[in-house]
């Protein structure tokens, strides 16, 4: 599964479970002991007492409970909460975009450096073969001034 906008892969270990909350009451045996069952019970709780009971003792469920309480407050607080969450998601998205942009620029710069090193290597080999600046520039289809600068540096070293 991947992000539609960025193409970033979420995880190769991503799991998706479909739970019919209306069938929770008919769950029996081992299934009732599974963590997934507790999460389903938490999600389907109809009273705050049930939410408290199901979340008790599980750090992650307690955090979800706290978020549920924040979201259930009056409308203005819920609006502020949702705006805060949207701002956080926007910031994360901006950071990912900046990181991806930086990687693209880094790869572009690396390719440029690779091309320059390749050109220097080819010029050096042609100098070793006794070729002139004009011949090297003609062979490599490069500007003679560029080849001359490389030629001078190679000759000095």
Determine the Cα–Cα distance for residues 52 and 57; give it in Å rounded to an integer. 10
Residue 31 lies in a domain: yes
**Residue whose pair of structure tokens reads 């939410």 in the numeric block:** 51
Domain assignment of residue 28, given as a range: 17-72
Q: Which residues of the chain have pLDDT under 50?
A: none
123, 143 Cβ separation under 8 angstroms: no
Per-residue burial over 47-76, b = 16 or more CB atoms within 10 Å of its CB, e = otherwise: eeeebeebbeeeeebeebbeeeeeeeeeee
Residue 12 lies in a domain: no
Tell me, what's the pLDDT at 155? 87
User: How many of the other CB atoms lie within 10 Å of CB of 44?
Assistant: 15
Counted domains in the chain: 1
Tell me, what's the pLDDT at 99? 96
Residue 29 lies in a domain: yes
Across the chain, mean pLDDT equals: 88
């Amino acid at each position: 599964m991947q992000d539609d906008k960025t193409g970033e892969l979420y995880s190769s270990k991503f799991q998706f479970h479909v739970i019919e909350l209306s069938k929770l009451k008919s769950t029996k045996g081992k299934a009732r002991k599974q963590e997934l069952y507790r999460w389903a019970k938490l999600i389907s709780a109809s009273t705050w007492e049930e939410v408290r009971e199901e979340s008790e003792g599980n750090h992650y469920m307690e955090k979800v409970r706290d978020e549920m309480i924040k979201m259930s407050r009056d409308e203005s607080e819920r609006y502020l909460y949702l705006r805060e969450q949207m701002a956080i998601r926007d910031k994360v998205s901006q950071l990912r975009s900046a990181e991806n942009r930086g990687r693209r620029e880094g790869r572009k710069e690396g390719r440029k450096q690779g091309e320059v090193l390749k050109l220097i290597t080819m010029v050096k080999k042609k100098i070793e073969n006794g070729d002139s600046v004009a011949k090297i520039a003609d062979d490599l289809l490069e500007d003679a001034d560029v080849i001359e600068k490389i030629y001078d540096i190679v000759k000095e070293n």
